[in-house]
């Protein structure tokens, strides 16, 4: 693998030089007022990226998986009932975590490639007249399949059923890249990670809690120590953590939020949509299909591309790494060997994306697939040429 080439995996993503420098800082006393000058602006920046005026933001030295555990352990008790759809590897893993914590999960099995079944959620929640279901889980962007789900529709399902369940949203591969509306969608816990839309190394679990979720923490009885939001809040009140924080990453997060907000969130989202549309034009030119079932669920951060029956899609990823020094994503779970994934999120431009499309083409031709060399590149070029970036000078 070459350090000179951009990566095309759906996270960790490419790190802008400014963020690398922000993370590379001298040691400071993390219990001094100086640390507060890093911590509190970073939390305010995250709140703005979440499009929230009210979310309580907590940042743990962890990953998105730690964010899932933060949501569950702070708001639930053993035996509590959770409603979740399984439509990909990451929704599956969050369900697995629930089960390991002794939660009772009602699973709505959903085809991998489909979005969350909000209508089915509404039926189940309406039938739950005794309000046994305490939480609804929703994976905003299923990274394994390149599927985006409609969180606003999930919220409408809860409201239509008149159900008081909390709404937990996994936004790990969407927040900072795709439109996310914590307040408008009445999200109760949002989970993100530093290594995707925030364009940083892995190492931070970033969560936002609503007032309703904070109220639930008062009676939740699942064990928690490292991920206790009340311990963290007490630390924040004193410009500190209850343990040693990842100071460099927090400094990078502060800078990342500044960069995203300077570009303008709507411009960030438009950039991701434009880049993703170019990738989809290439896929169409290759005569291949996406795993995502329909355009309304196409992800703007990752495309999972189906290869012909009998062909091992993982060979493309292996060949790209070994021959061209470029990283693509393998298929996971039920789509392992059936898809390869092109991540197109974070610090990425049209020109960088074209290099990834060209590499994927070379790999497929090398491996004998019936792909015309240059076809996908030309299709993406035509789209990018006719749809230039509105504010290219400010692109992350």
Tell me the torsion sign for CA atoms 36, 38, 41, 46: negative
Distance between start and end Cα atoms, the chain = 24
- Count of Cβ atoms closer than 10 Å to residue 132 Cβ: 12
Rounded to the nearest 5 degrees, what angle is found at the Cα of 344, between the Cα atoms of 339 and 348? 155
Is 341 part of any known ligand binding site?
yes
Angle between helices 247-263 and 33-49 (to 10 degrees): 40
DSSP state letter for 297: G
Exposed/middle/buried for 295, CB within 10 Å: 0-12, 13-18, 19+?
Answer: exposed
Q: From 125, 76, 122, select the one nearest 98 (Cα to Cα).
A: 76
Residue 48: name the closest of 269, 268, 201, 258 by CA: 258
Distance, C-alpha 349 to centroid of its chain: 19
CB atoms within 10 A of CB 348: 25
What angle in degrees, to the nearest 10, is found between the helix axes of 375-386 and 350-366?
Answer: 170
Q: Take residue 193 and report the two structure tokens written for it.
A: 């990670």
Alpha carbon distance 333, 112 (integer Å): 10
Strands 302-306 and 289-290: antiparallel
Beta strands in the chain (DSSP E): 56-61, 81-86, 104-109, 133-139, 141-142, 147-148, 166-170, 189-193, 204-209, 289-290, 302-306, 329-330, 339-343
Taking a C-beta distance cutoff of 8 angstroms, is the pair 303, 342 a contact? Answer: yes
Q: Are the C-beta atoms of residues 394 and 264 closer than 8 Å to each other?
A: yes
* Ordered alpha helix ranges (H), the chain: 17-23, 33-49, 64-75, 89-100, 118-127, 151-161, 211-216, 229-237, 247-263, 265-286, 314-319, 350-366, 375-386
Edge to edge, what strands does the sheet with 302-306 contain? 289-290, 302-306, 339-343, 329-330
Annotated binding site for substrate: 341
Task: Please state the residue numbers annotated as binding site.
Answer: 341
């Amino acid at each position: 693998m070459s350090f000179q080439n951009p990566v095309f995996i759906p996270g960790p993503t490419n790190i802008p030089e400014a963020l690398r420098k922000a993370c590379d800082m001298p040691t400071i006393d993390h219990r001094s007022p100086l640390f507060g000058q890093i911590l509190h602006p970073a939390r305010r920046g995250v709140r703005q990226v979440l499009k929230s005026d009210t979310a309580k933001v907590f940042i743990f030295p962890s990953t998105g998986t730690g964010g899932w555990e933060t949501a569950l352990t702070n708001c639930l008790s053993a035996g509590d009932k959770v409603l979740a759809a399984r439509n990909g590897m990451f929704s599956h893993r969050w369900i697995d975590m629930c089960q390991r914590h002794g939660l009772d999960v009602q699973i709505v099995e959903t085809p991998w490639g489909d979005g969350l079944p909000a209508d089915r959620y509404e039926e189940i929640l309406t039938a739950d007249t005794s309000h046994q279901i305490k939480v609804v889980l929703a994976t905003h962007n299923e990274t394994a399949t390149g599927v985006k789900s409609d969180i606003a529709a999930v919220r409408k399902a809860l409201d239509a059923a008149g159900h008081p369940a909390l709404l937990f949203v996994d936004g790990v591969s969407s927040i900072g890249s795709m439109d996310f509306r914590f307040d408008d969608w009445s999200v109760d816990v949002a989970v993100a990670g530093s290594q995707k839309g925030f364009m940083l190394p892995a190492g931070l679990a970033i969560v936002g809690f609503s007032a309703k979720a904070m109220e639930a923490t008062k009676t939740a009885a699942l064990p928690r120590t490292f991920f206790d939001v009340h311990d963290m809040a007490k630390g924040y009140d004193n410009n500190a953590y209850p343990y040693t924080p990842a100071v460099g990453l927090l400094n990078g997060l502060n800078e990342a939020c500044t960069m995203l907000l300077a570009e303008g969130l709507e411009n960030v989202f438009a950039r991701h949509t434009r880049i993703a549309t170019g990738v989809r034009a290439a896929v169409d030119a290759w005569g291949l299909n996406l795993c995502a079932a329909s355009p309304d669920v196409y992800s703007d951060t990752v495309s999972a591309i189906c290869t012909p029956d009998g062909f091992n899609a993982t060979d493309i990823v292996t060949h790209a790494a070994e021959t061209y020094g470029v990283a693509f994503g393998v298929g996971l779970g039920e789509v392992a060997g059936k898809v390869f994934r092109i991540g197109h999120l974070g610090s990425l431009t049209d020109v960088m994306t074209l290099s990834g499309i060209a590499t994927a083409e070379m790999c497929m031709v090398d491996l004998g697939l019936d792909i015309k060399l240059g076809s996908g590149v030309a299709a993406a070029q035509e789209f990018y040429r006719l749809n230039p970036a509105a504010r290219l000078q400010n692109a992350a």
